[in-house]
Amino acid sequence: MAGVGDRAAKDALYAGFAEVAKALASGRRAEIADVLAQGERSVDEIAEEIGQTVANTSHHLRAMARAGILTTRRDGTRIFYALAGDRVGELWSALQDVAATHVAGLEKLAAAYLGDRDGVEVIDREELTRRLERGEVVVLDVRPEAEYAAGHIAGARSLPVGELRRQLRSLPKDADVVAYCRGPYCVYADDAVRELSRKGFRAWRLIDGFPEWKRAGLPVAAGNGDNGDG
């Protein structure tokens, strides 16, 4: 019979802790965590976002759910997944921070994906909060509409980056515009700011994204509403 401090029991305990790490131990699963940090999504939507088959995506999702970091619900024939709680989102954020600080070459990998950011001006959460309160800025959520509906910065307008060019005329020409997306490694906001700047707008990207804004306890809204006033 195992006693207090038994090695086998300790091994089992630490193996249990490691199950969470294993649940994120692939690039695909890390990307899934990034998508679900925005809100609940269906299997089909997740598969499309990460560029994988539904079968392969389902395999990853089931493994993450078994480790306890995802929850599921069924709506008819569709299965939806979500992060199991705010702490899982914090874990994903911490993993990115640690990697950015300690993983050799990560900065080059990020630059290869995001491109040259020299022309992309950045605004932090505190400054954006002040400017929103004073009504001095138009805020664009350039993520997919489903992510906007799941949760967005209060007062932001949904304008997915793929629709930006067609919708530019709907923006006041003299407006200051801030675009945001999923987080610090999301390319959508960079692309939006570059396009807005080319068209003569004064544009910035939020320094990180919606999950960080929400975790900071700043005003958020959900649903499509009237797509403007949160």
Cα separation, 219 vs 192, whole angstroms? 23
Residues 6+ apart with CB under 8 A from 98: none
Residues 6+ apart with CB under 8 A from 137: 128, 131, 175, 176, 177, 178
Q: Is residue 26 helix, strand or coil? A: coil
**Tokens at 107, concatenated:** 């900065």
Cα separation, 88 vs 68, whole angstroms? 10
Q: Is residue 129 helix, strand or coil? A: helix
Active site includes 186?
A: no
Catalytic residue among 43, 61, 139, 181: 181
Cα separation, 223 vs 230, whole angstroms? 8
User: Quick one: CA dihedral 220, 208, 93, 109, positive or negative?
Assistant: positive
Hey, which residues does 92 pair with through a beta bridge? Answer: none
Q: Is residue 105 helix, strand or coil? A: coil
**Tokens at 28, concatenated:** 């695909």
Q: Is residue 31 helix, strand or coil? A: helix
Among all residues, which ones are annotated catalytic? 181
